[in-house]
Amino acid sequence: MKEITITIPDGIARRLEEHAANHNVSVSDAVELVLSNTFGSFSSRPAIDPNRSQRDGAQNDARLDWWREAKFGMFIHWGLYSIPAGVWDGREVPGIGEWIMYRAEIPVREYEKLAPQFNPVGFNAAEWVGLARRAGQKYLVLTTKHHDGFCLFRSRHTRFSIVDGTPFKRDVVQELAEECRRQGIRLGFYYSQTQDWHHPDGDGNYWDFGDASQDFDAYVHDYVIPQLRELLTNYGPVGLIWFDTPKGITPEQSQHLLDTVREIQPDCLVCGRLGNSMGDYASAGDNTIPGGRVNLDWETPATINDTWGFKTNDDNWKSTGDLITKLVDIASKGGNYLLNVGPTAEGVIPEPSVLRLHEMGDWLERNGESIYGSTAGPLQGLSWCRTTQRGGTVYLHVLDWPETGVLELPDLAIASARLLSDGSDLTPADGGNRIEIPTVAPDPYVTVIAIELDAASSGGTSD
């Protein structure tokens, strides 16, 4: 941490203090949050907040096996915020698109006027799920209710939903659930359990409701739990519930949510952002990759550009190579990668996302053996490579391909080696510590070498 003194206008200082108070955080933390949103996450906080970690014992839980095998999922942020797409009253609103209501302090009565405009005639569940499949993603997580409170499903507890509040009227959760079953993709539901800027007793909307009248417990009891029941009852088997921003939720409230999930669908997983370290798996910070191996079941949610919900003016797309490297980096540390798309208000996934997902799918077609069902690999902390492991096979992901025709691996006893891109055998040499390789990387992105270890020395003992 570095302490600096800066001079800012009184008005902004006042806004900052108000903002921190509304968020119940210190002014420093508020500044850090705002700045990290502008410059990327450089915070000194741990990559996995202990409050969002995995509950004790879940590491041995076989209910997670499908998720451990999956490694790569599609996140979908879609809702009314896709209409303004980052622009309000003709002005660009900075930050992530789905936060526009908050950032522009849009009153509920104004924001609600977006619902009658939401008519995503381009929506096609088969296409979205087909894209996830094509990308090699094994699960899909949809924002059924984000912080703005708008629901993408039919609910008896609000009319602020796609079914009752928009001309579109279709229950897109149902359409996606059916399509996921048809195409063999597990479906998960993002549900904002703490923040709800539309509900008077939900957390976050200080500009309409202030803090005084809040009955957060009633909101959990009378609104969140009943909606959770609907989601778990009406759409068949649910793979997981992706809660978010636990903030001040109490252990009792988290437990109540967990008990509700377990009662209705015992196999449904719950992400670590349930809060109070009660989730089935740990959740790293948004777009945050831990510095090294993490011995938990964990996941990084991440964006392809800089926003989750669609923004017209966000063209800062990560390259396919960068995205594949992130997938490899995360897998090498034992995690899952939940990669976001933000469809437009017409229901269309932006073309730059589609292109990158196709290229990732092509790479996984060649190299997926090194990712699916893998665990963190034996070599950690090297800048030029990442490793994963499956059974007795070590997968060497070469990020920085040497032109010398030789790879040196002093820490591995190699019995045989093979290139995943074309299946060809490579020649180990010098007592199994070196492999001869082509001088040009065979894969346009990350080249993977599958290595069978020498059984005699991989036992780790000598006589």
Q: What residue ranges bind ligand H79 (CB under 6 A)?
A: 33-34, 37, 95-96, 98-99, 102, 244-245, 286, 301, 308
* Spatial strand order in the sheet of 269-270: 269-270, 240-242, 186-191, 139-145, 72-76, 335-341, 298-302, 282-283
User: Which residue, 36 or 174, has its beta carbon nearer to ligand H79?
Assistant: 36
Nearer to ligand H79, 67 or 242 (CB): 242
**Cα(11)–Cα(158) distance, integer angstroms:** 38
Tokens of 118: 């939401």
Q: Is 452 exposed, middle or buried (0-12, 13-18, 19+ CB in 10 A)?
A: middle
C-beta of 36 vs 158, nearer to ligand H79:
36
The encoded tokens of residue 106 equal: 């849009």
Q: Which sign does the torsion angle of CA 108, 30, 322, 136 carry? A: negative
Amino acid at 329: D
Instruction: Report which residue's Cβ sits closest to ligand H79.
Output: 37
- 36 vs 375 by CB, closer to ligand H79: 36
The values of phi and psi at residue 426, to 5°, are -110, 160
**Minimal distance in Å, beta carbon 268 to ligand H79?**
19
- Are 133 and 185 in contact by the 8 Å Cβ rule? The answer is yes
| Least Cβ distance, residue 429 to ligand H79 (angstroms) | 47
Alpha helix positions (H), 220-278: 225-234, 251-264
Nearer residue to ligand H79 within complex by CB, 241 or 396: 241
Tokens of 345: 């208000």
Q: What is the Cα–Cα distance from 72 to 86, expressed in whole angstroms? A: 28
Sheet with strand 393-398: strands edge to edge: 375-376, 385-390, 393-398, 447-453, 414-419, 425-429, 434-436, 406-408
* CA-CA-CA-CA dihedral for 189, 38, 248, 233, to nearest 10: -10
The least distance separating ligand H79 from the CB of residue 266, rounded to whole angstroms, comes to 26
Minimum distance from residue 143 beta carbon to ligand H79 (Å): 7
Q: Which residues pair with 191 in a beta bridge?
A: 145
Least CB distance to ligand H79 at residue 34 (A): 5
Shortest approach of ligand H79 to residue 136 CB, angstroms?
21
Which residue, 48 or 396, has its beta carbon nearer to ligand H79?
A: 48
Minimum CB separation from ligand H79 for residue 4, in Å?
A: 19
Least distance (Å) from ligand H79 to the CB of residue 14?
16
Strand 298-302 relative to strand 282-283, pairing = parallel
Query: How many Å from the N-terminal Cα to the C-terminal Cα in the chain?
Result: 50
d(CA 202, CA 216): 6
Q: Please, what is the minimum distance in Å from the beta carbon of residue 163 to ligand H79? A: 22
Nearer to ligand H79 by Cβ, of 72 and 445: the residue is 72
Helices then strands, counting H and E runs in the chain, come out as: 15, 18
Is the CB of 95 or the CB of 378 nearer to ligand H79? 95
Q: Nearest distance from residue 95's CB to ligand H79, in Å? A: 4
The tokens describing 129, both together, are: 């799920």
Nearest distance from residue 75's CB to ligand H79, in Å? 7
